Amino acid sequence: MPLHHLCEPVELAPGISVWAERVVHGPKSTRLDRFPHYHGVGELVVFDEAAGSFWLDGEEARLDPPCLVYVPPMCHHDYNLEPGQKSWTLIQIDPAIIADLAHTLPEIDLTHPFVGAPDRMQMEHIRSLCSLLLQISQATPQASIVIKTIELILWLAAATRSTSPTSKAGPKRIALPVDRFRPALEALQADPAHDWSLEDLASRCHMSAPYFSRRFSEIMGMNLTAYIRVYRLQLAARRLVQGREAIGLIAHDAGFSSPAHFAFQFKQRFGLTPRAYRQAGQTRSPNPALRTRA
């Protein structure tokens, strides 16, 4: 059975740094299709009930709830959940928050994925904090207590990090198609404003330009030009709600040729002008995380 595209554009709404939601599937629920993917936000999934397996950056292991899985931004992952009762808490975290927490909590490695196997007491603490986060992230999403709560949750989650393989045979390395594009994606992340050409990025991946173009579209679900545009817009959107920098400067740093071009592309993507998006981020009422298409 063919798999879906590996790229899942997940964007938090303006002004939202952390979003939490509870997911429950009843005892008659069917198997959840595989969906190997990655996204720009970080993710923590606290599983209460589920049977199946998961992949983190190409390593496969069994899912053994109660457990948790931390996935940093741009890390390829997938869940294969069997039929029956399933429940978990999903927490999505803005990558800028993760970068800040990496300095606040240097003892926790938030740049790599990990699996946690909490004991009963640890799980009770994590569930209590998740319940608090579910309330405050929806009622007062911009409050500083939201950041403090996710900091505590991540600190507790890291303390449950498994030191032994989660399956008897140990993790199994699975090569994902997107792995071949890592050099290109890392180059774009390092210098998003650079005028990247198809030939430049294809050569970094040791592919011909036509082959790179075709495979990139197949795997990512969008062509290279669209991917670069979406990535730049996501970076710009984050800066708009984080400070009061001039919109023209943000547009330039993100690689857009002019503020007018940036404003046009931004409104097409988000449905708001950059200025309106910034204002919404400062005064918004709580809404779920936005999942948008390229």
**Which two three-digit tokens encode residue 108?**
């926790």
The pLDDT tens digits for 197-256 are 999 999 999 999 999 999 998 877 789 998 899 889 878 887 887 778 999 999 999 999
224-242 vs 274-283: helix crossing angle, rounded to 10: 50
What domains lie within the chain, and their CATH numbers? 10-159 (2.60.120.280), 179-286 (1.10.10.60)
pLDDT for residue 286: 40
Confidence of residue 158 (pLDDT cuts 50, 70, 90): very high
pLDDT in tens, 109-119: 898 888 999 99
Q: Are 65 and 50 in contact (CB under 8 A)?
A: yes
pTM beyond 0.75, yes or no? no
Q: Across residues 7-17, what is the average pLDDT?
A: 67
**In contact, 43 and 19? CB cutoff 8 Å:** no
Q: How far apart are CA 197 and CA 212, in angstroms?
A: 12
The dihedral sign for the CA sequence 247, 251, 43, 72? negative
pLDDT tens figures, 28-62: 888 876 666 777 789 999 999 999 988 876 677 88
Task: Compute how many other C-beta atoms are within 10 angstroms of the C-beta atom of residue 105.
Answer: 14
Q: CA–CA separation, 112 vs 33, rounded Å?
A: 25
Distances (CA, A) of 161 to 114, 118, 218: 6, 8, 35
Say what the pLDDT of residue 287 is: 41
* Distances 47 to 78, 120, 220 between C-alpha atoms, Å: 14, 13, 28
Q: Is 237 helix (H, G, I), strand (E, B) or coil?
A: helix
Q: Is residue 93 within 8 Å of residue 36, measured between CB atoms? A: no
Which pLDDT belongs to residue 290? 38
Lowest mean pLDDT among 89-98, 124-133, 276-285: 276-285
d(CA 40, CA 62): 25
Distance between CA atoms of 106 and 97, rounded to whole angstroms? 14
Name the more confident of 108 and 204: 204
